């Protein structure tokens, strides 16, 4: 299949690399240098998004957020009528509804996981569209990205977007929980390693195992798997989504997520936005009151 792949940042590059063996890819990125790995792997590089889409049988986007989707795809009416559009960008359910209304062939395909699972083809992947035939086509296309047990078709982009936001809410809140557990452990005289060990039999065991290498200093947060900028952007989408849904659930809020966002924003202000979000767990992290 001839595929236009738009957005070759960290995650987009890993996703595109899985497709090159079986498909003819033309890639585009706003920063052209970020297409280099894919060009070396055999992809063609387009000078513009419109050039990439010309002659394609399917378009995949992996952009930073919904505003980038609007700018790159919606405003210029980039997707020709009838051409399937697979969007892996993290967006809100309302954004997914908007994009599906603008482009009837829209398929919301958010991925769950970081760069390690992306490289090994073991991500969680939602495939959301009301078109059952198109859903099956896309499920087969993206199977190389996914753990088979975590590849899930749903009947709308809205449901796919909801699944992704729930996953990232759990990640952000549990990271904030680990941050606070480390602070409590230190206040009680426990080393970070002792605290991580004691968390092994608690609800924070997963995040402690995932981020323990960063806490121990065995990995640098520079160039990490999931940046503070990216998860903070997703947290804001979640908070906006709950605010927009207030008439259905008056008084609803996300205070634990707001605490996590405050910690992330402190690190972004300290010029750590491009670091792995584990930066909030390190001793230099600026305390917040949540």
Cβ atoms of 216 and 210 closer than 8 Å:
no
Distance CA 146, CA 270 (A): 35
Per-residue model confidence (pLDDT) at position 283: 85
Dump pLDDT digits (tens) for 77-107: 999 999 999 999 999 999 999 999 999 999 9
Whole-angstrom CA distances from 150 to 127, 147, 187, 235, 240 are 11, 5, 39, 22, 27
Whole-angstrom CA distances from 144 to 6, 11, 44, 85, 167 are 18, 14, 20, 18, 21
* CATH number assigned to the domain with residue range 2-155, chosen from the 4 options 3.40.640.10, 3.40.50.1950, 1.10.287.80, 3.40.50.720: 3.40.50.720
Location of structure tokens 């958010």: 110
Q: Where in the chain is the domain with CATH 1.10.1040.10?
A: 163-281
> For the whole model, what pTM was predicted?
0.91
Dump pLDDT digits (tens) for 24-83: 999 999 999 999 999 999 999 999 999 999 999 999 999 999 999 999 999 999 999 999
Mean pLDDT of 250-277: 94
Q: Note the CATH architecture for domain 163-281.
A: Orthogonal Bundle (1.10)
Per-residue model confidence (pLDDT) at position 244: 86
Per-residue model confidence (pLDDT) at position 284: 59
Instruction: Tell me: pLDDT of 288 over 50.
Output: no
Cβ atoms of 70 and 49 closer than 8 Å:
no
Mean pLDDT of 107-121: 96
Instruction: Tell me: pLDDT of 183 over 60.
Output: yes
Alpha helices in 81-156 (DSSP H): 93-102, 115-120, 132-142
Cβ atoms of 238 and 264 closer than 8 Å:
no
What is the helix (H) or strand (E) element at residue 19, kind and residue range?
Answer: helix 10-19
Location of structure tokens 């954004």: 95
Cβ atoms of 98 and 73 closer than 8 Å:
no
Q: Where in the chain is the domain with CATH 3.40.50.720?
A: 2-155
Q: What DSSP designation does 275 have?
A: B
Query: For residue 246, what pLDDT band results from cuts at 50, 70 and 90?
Result: low
Distance CA 27, CA 39 (A): 8
User: 125 - beta bridge partners?
Assistant: 111, 151
Dump pLDDT digits (tens) for 187-235: 999 999 999 999 999 999 999 999 999 999 999 999 878 999 999 999 9
Distance CA 265, CA 249 (A): 27
Per-residue model confidence (pLDDT) at position 137: 98
Expressed in angstroms, the distance from the first to the final Cα of the chain is 49
C-beta neighbour count of 77 within 10 angstroms: 10
């Amino acid at each position: 299949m001839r595929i236009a792949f738009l957005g070759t940042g960290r995650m987009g590059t890993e996703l595109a690399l899985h497709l090159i063996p079986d498909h003819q890819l033309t890639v585009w990125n706003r920063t052209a240098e970020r297409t280099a790995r894919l060009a070396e792997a055999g992809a063609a590089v387009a000078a513009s998004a419109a050039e990439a889409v010309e002659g394609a049988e399917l378009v995949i986007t992996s952009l930073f957020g919904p505003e980038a989707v609007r700018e790159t795809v919606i405003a210029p009416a980039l997707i020709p009528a009838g051409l399937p559009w697979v969007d892996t960008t993290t967006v809100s359910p309302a954004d997914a509804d908007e994009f599906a209304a603008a482009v009837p062939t829209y398929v919301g395909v958010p991925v769950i996981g970081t760069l390690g699972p992306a490289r090994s083809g073991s991500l969680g992947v939602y495939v959301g569209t009301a078109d059952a035939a198109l859903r099956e086509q896309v499920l087969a296309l993206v199977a190389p990205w996914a753990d088979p047990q975590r590849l899930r078709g749903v009947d709308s982009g809205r449901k796919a977007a909801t699944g992704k936001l729930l996953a990232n809410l759990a990640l952000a809140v549990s990271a904030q929980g680990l941050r606070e557990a480390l602070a409590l452990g230190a206040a009680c005289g426990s080393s970070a390693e002792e605290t991580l060990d004691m968390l092994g039999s608690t609800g924070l065991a997963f995040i402690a195992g995932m981020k323990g290498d960063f806490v121990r200093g065995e990995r640098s947060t520079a160039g990490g798997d999931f940046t503070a900028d990216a998860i903070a952007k997703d947290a804001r989408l979640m908070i906006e989504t709950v605010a927009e849904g207030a008439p259905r659930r008056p008084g609803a809020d996300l205070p634990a997520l707001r605490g996590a966002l405050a910690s992330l924003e402190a690190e972004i202000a300290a010029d750590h936005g491009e670091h792995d979000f584990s930066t909030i767990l390190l001793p230099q992290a600026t305390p917040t009151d949540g």
